[in-house]
Structure 1
């Protein structure tokens, strides 16, 4: 009973203000000591339910960890400046380039660093307890800038750290991304530019504990830091500066090359660059071939008339675009083309390539200067007057345009003649070819009205083909 009374009398309560949770210092007399004041101290935490947790270990290293973790609250937790969802992509890790992979991340900006979570911190808390830590980016000495070269997305800026990590952040909403950029920039500007500042900030945290023992322990750890870490950091910084100078040299050489490069005409005269079939002016293609109708147009028409006149939806159904592009490439490279080859078995690929040829002409088959005249002709109330006017305009066209038009519409009349099988009427072909062959140079009026006229002109020239091209008959 006496020992119990002495033990009760020697208990000293710390932090009496706290009611639910408090720290209790319990002094236990040492019976082996000659001095009554010598004692051992154990710290216990009283929880809300009255349970006592395990006492903190008196080992020096463990004690310092508990002080840093429990006694001193982390600064970044006390000074969260901004948080929210953004699109994030990490494109470099320690100077090593990574494949760009955009993900949605919950971004938490504190006074020193940025943390990336897969979801908001409240939702991420259960995962954090199981050991899943967020990715953290130290902003000390970091660089932030807007970038358009690294991504085709809009509103993208890049953060580059002193360790060689690079991150892209993006949002489609302008004011959100601007607010984030300014907040991160302000944080970086407030931090020291010295790459060793994270260690200095850590030292500042320890100083707040007013423990000289912990400071001496930290200083001993700092002295034991391996020199290769510092060398690695200096290498990365030097490597980054070297990359910048290399890029500047490459840009300078490219600029000199571009200013001294030969003109397109010179390269064409030397035969280094040849005019392509697709995308060239009709008269240029015909001049190169010494003809008034491109050979590619003739080949396509011949293939369709051989095996496509009875195909349902001919010219209306689209062919495989990849195969059409392959055919286009072969034609542009002036390779031998055989449309009877099995790879061109689908006749819709041939018709698709023919429509693409006319669609990619810099100036359509109906020249721009004739567009308004053909539109005025189709507006005439008298049908005979419309036919005569259009016939007159066709005769005034340049030979390549006139002869190619005659061959094409003559072929389309054969398609209409098989309408009972291919289900392609004059109206259907007018809808397909009208906007492709006839369009205004500057679309300033009503496009819907122009489209009606385009279709009507193509329909009239199909239905009255023999009357319009009669003077051109062989």
Structure 2
């Protein structure tokens, strides 16, 4: 069946099973007579009858985030926008005021072309409820959300109806082509590209639409392989037994370090104490003044690499670097010099009011310590006693050293109480052990 317009003799439409009527007033230029077969015919998109597309107009507030831009993954950044659904576009404004004629926005609103898009509910890509995803033909993925169930259902239905009314539409921005297909008639710009170009574009679009799914599959495959690798890798203990990994000095368990060095006092502690007593007892603010942190870290690296350490070297000339490294060693012990299991007992002992009983309780607790903790503690406090003797030049009293070493040598396994209260007890314990050194370590 063929319908001709008397005023436009050259216009015609090929009809197979159904027919699309064009408003004569809308046709402004000649339509191509070329057709590939009797079931397909192409004209420009703007000549489509308005009755063919179902108009879904809607506006309101939605939460929006873009997670993919042309195939490139983006970080989720949820924003509240005023969404407007009109025709085949979904636009987003900061608020409803931008829609008024008197308000001119400095930037163009975000716009989603729904032609050829896909819409689906998703619960895997966000922890929020009521989230659905729109995937455009250009490879963009947008998540939309609302806390109100009825609102999000209405938006989902309206957008889906718009996408369905557009049929199998596809957009080719790079070529300036918009295609719309109905069940029996196809309309296209008359400057259509060759078949080879069409196939390439179709493959490109299919790749973009499937990008997200394939990317998720690849990530899952990588995660599975990593889990298998981690489950098969040898334990740290096995690597240490084979000699592939050696324990470092800083951060190593005190007993393990001493056993490795066949001593009850770590070699690094002894070396630092000897260096300070040799050339630094008259230094002001000993153990209170901080040395250069980068130099201390360098010294730490040398010790951990088991390189031969010579603290008489000029690069360790600053005695505060040596004292800083010694404090760092005790601070990085997995369990402090005063073990966690003894912390509460030392606190209870320092609370004793009677001086003689207080010292006796401290002496009994010190004797219960392991040989490694006991001998290392005795060597350290014996060294600190020498600094107190030279307080006139070192400017460090027992109270000053208690403030410096209290939190370093004593700390609870967990901290349910007040840190300020614990700090007072920590300082008092170190202060008492320095003043009563001979009685406690007899």
Normalised-by-shorter TM-score class = 0.5 to 0.7
Contact kept? 1:141, 1:191, Cα under 8 Å:
no
Aligned twin of 1:133: 108
Q: 1:420 to 1:218 in 2, by over 3 A?
A: farther
SS in 2 for 1:81: strand
Distance in 1 (alpha carbons) for counterparts of 2:132 and 2:382: 60
Q: Distance in 1 between matches of 2:252 and 2:216?
A: 41
2:392, 2:380 → 1: CA distance? 21
Q: Does 1:440 align with 2:412?
A: yes
Q: CA deviation at 1:220?
A: 3.0
Matched, 1:248 2:250: no
Matching of residue 81 in structure 1 with residue 60 in structure 2? yes
Contact 1:366 1:437 in 2 (8 A): yes
How far the C-alpha of 1:131 sits from its partner, in A, is 7.8
Query: What residue ranges of structure 2 are gaps of 5+ in the alignment?
Result: 1-6, 8-25, 30-43, 49-53, 171-181
Q: Shift of the alpha carbon at 1:253?
A: 1.9
Give 2:336's aligned residue: 364
Partner residue in 1 for 2:386: 414
> 1:329-340 counterparts in 2 under 5 A?
329-339=301-311
Match of 2:82 among 105, 108, 111: 108
Alpha-carbon spacing, 1:249–1:266, altered in 2? closer, same or farther (3 Å): same
Partners of 1:233 and 1:282 lie apart in 2 by 63
Question: Are the aligned partners of 2:98 and 2:104 in contact in 1 as well (CA < 8 Å)?
Answer: no
Q: Say whether residues 1:93 and 2:93 are aligned partners.
A: no
Query: How many residues of Structure 1 are paired with residues of Structure 2 in the alignment?
Result: 381
Aligned partners of 2:134 and 2:143 also within 8 Å: no
How far off is 1:398 after superposition?
1.0
1:319-338 correspondence to structure 2 within 5 Å: 324-325=296-297, 327-338=299-310
Shift of 1:82: 0.7
Q: Which blocks of at least 5 consecutive residues in structure 1 are unaligned?
A: 1-37, 39-57, 69-73, 149-153, 170-176, 204-214
CA distance in 1, matches of 2:409, 2:60: 61
1:286 match: secondary structure: helix
Which protein has the bigger helix share? 1
Distance in 2 of aligned mates of 1:233 and 1:409: 75
Matching residue of 2:365:
393
- Contact conserved, 2:135 with 2:209, CA < 8 A, in 1? no
Q: Relative to structure 1, is the Cα distance of residues 221 and 256 closer, same or farther in structure 2, using a 3 angstrom cutoff? A: same
Once residues 289 and 158 of structure 1 are traced to their aligned partners in structure 2, the CA distance between those partners, rounded to angstroms, is: 63
Partner Cα distance (1:336, 1:109) in 2: 69
Match of 2:18 in 1: none
Please give the alpha-carbon distance, in whole angstroms, between the structure 2 residues aligned to 1:374 and 1:364. 13
Aligned to 2:188: 220
| Residues 457-472 of structure 1 mapped to structure 2, 5 A cutoff | 457-469=429-441, 471=442
Where relative contact order (Cα < 8 A, 6+ residues apart) is larger, the structure is 2
Preserved CA contact (<8 Å) 2:251 2:333: yes
Q: 1:197 to 1:233 in 2, by over 3 A?
A: farther
